[in-house]
């Protein structure tokens, strides 16, 4: 064990951890924001509405996130019009492409999680809302979404942890996240155990804090549904 290389590079790991955290926050935030309205639309009876959303989640849940990342980052550069367009500065940046891909990916999974929990809502809750004369929009805002979102918490916590681990793919497109830091330390000093175990410890701590956070959230919002 040679820990001097690790202590020397601790700032690299810390900035890597920050990058990982930012990637996670941006992708989860964007993914969830788009997933909620899409999940509601996904449960509507009209085929032309839920059909395209189903297709989107089917594609993104059926292919590896690494392939999606390569398609966005390397794939789009194939087209001349893309390189001429005003969006090119964004799509030529690894950071933008990683955030976009991760957000699209987690959004697809989150749509299915939330739509599933809307469909599993007890019929009585909706009937009660209707019999009180609530309009569709009010019912959605006051009854359906609060109830469905809290029921989706346990499944969503798994998705968030998967996403934290998924952000490590960013290191493959040259982003210096935690994994990127570890890879650089390994290639500089050739100390694979020290380099990757340090990153693993960081990821483990991040995972634990995420688990703890969701545990608190469940205690706060799932309380009415828990066994007494």
Residues that bind other proteins (CB under 8 A): 59, 61-68, 70-71, 74-79, 161, 164-169, 171-172, 178-179, 182-183, 186, 190, 192-193, 196-197, 199-200, 203-204, 207-208
- Quote the least distance from Cβ 201 to other proteins, whole Å: 9
- Quote the least distance from Cβ 27 to other proteins, whole Å: 14
Which of 201, 203, 223 lies closest to 211, judged by CA? 203
- Quote the least distance from Cβ 77 to other proteins, whole Å: 7
Contact 20, 178 (CB under 8 A): yes
Count of beta carbons in the 10 Å neighbourhood of residue 215: 12
Q: Of the two residues 136 and 215, which places its CB atom closer to other proteins in the complex?
A: 215
- Quote the least distance from Cβ 84 to other proteins, whole Å: 16
8-state DSSP, 44: S
Q: Of the two residues 60 and 153, which places its CB atom closer to other proteins in the complex?
A: 60
Q: Of the two residues 45 and 133, which places its CB atom closer to other proteins in the complex?
A: 45
- Quote the least distance from Cβ 167 to other proteins, whole Å: 8
H-helix or E-strand containing 112? helix 94-119
Q: Of the two residues 32 and 69, which places its CB atom closer to other proteins in the complex?
A: 69
8-state DSSP, 223: G
Q: Of the two residues 141 and 215, which places its CB atom closer to other proteins in the complex?
A: 215
Which of 224, 204, 87 lies closest to 153, judged by CA? 224
Number of helices (H), then strands (E), belonging to the chain: the values are 13, 0
d(CA 19, CA 40): 32
Residue 156 Cα distances to 19, 68, 104, angstroms = 22, 21, 15
Q: Of the two residues 2 and 224, which places its CB atom closer to other proteins in the complex?
A: 2
- Quote the least distance from Cβ 195 to other proteins, whole Å: 8
Per-residue tokens: 152: 């989706």
- Kindly give, in sequence order, each residue whose CB lies less than 8 Å from that of residue 134, ignoring residues fewer than 6 positions away: 142, 143
């Amino acid at each position: 064990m040679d820990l001097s290389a690790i202590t020397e590079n601790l700032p690299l790991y810390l900035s890597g951890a920050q990058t990982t955290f930012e990637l996670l926050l941006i992708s989860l935030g964007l993914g969830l924001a788009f997933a909620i309205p899409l999940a509601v639309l996904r449960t509507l009876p009209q085929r032309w509405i839920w059909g395209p959303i189903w297709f989107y989640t089917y594609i993104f849940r059926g292919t590896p996130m690494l392939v999606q990342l390569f398609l966005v980052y390397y794939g789009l550069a194939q087209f001349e019009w893309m390189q001429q367009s005003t969006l090119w500065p964004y799509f030529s940046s690894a950071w933008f492409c990683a955030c976009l891909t991760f957000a699209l990916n987690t959004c697809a999974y989150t749509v299915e999680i939330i739509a599933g929990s809307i469909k599993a809502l007890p019929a009585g809750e909706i009937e009660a809302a209707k019999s009180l004369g609530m309009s569709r929009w009010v019912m959605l805002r006051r009854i359906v979404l609060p109830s469905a979102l809290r029921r989706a918490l346990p499944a969503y916590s798994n998705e968030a942890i998967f996403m934290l681990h998924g952000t490590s793919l960013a290191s493959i497109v040259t982003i210096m996240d935690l994994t990127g830091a570890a890879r650089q330390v390994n290639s500089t000093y050739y100390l694979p155990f020290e380099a990757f175990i340090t990153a693993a410890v960081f990821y483990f701590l991040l995972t634990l804090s995420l688990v703890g956070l969701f545990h608190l959230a469940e205690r706060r919002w799932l309380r009415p549904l828990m066994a007494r």
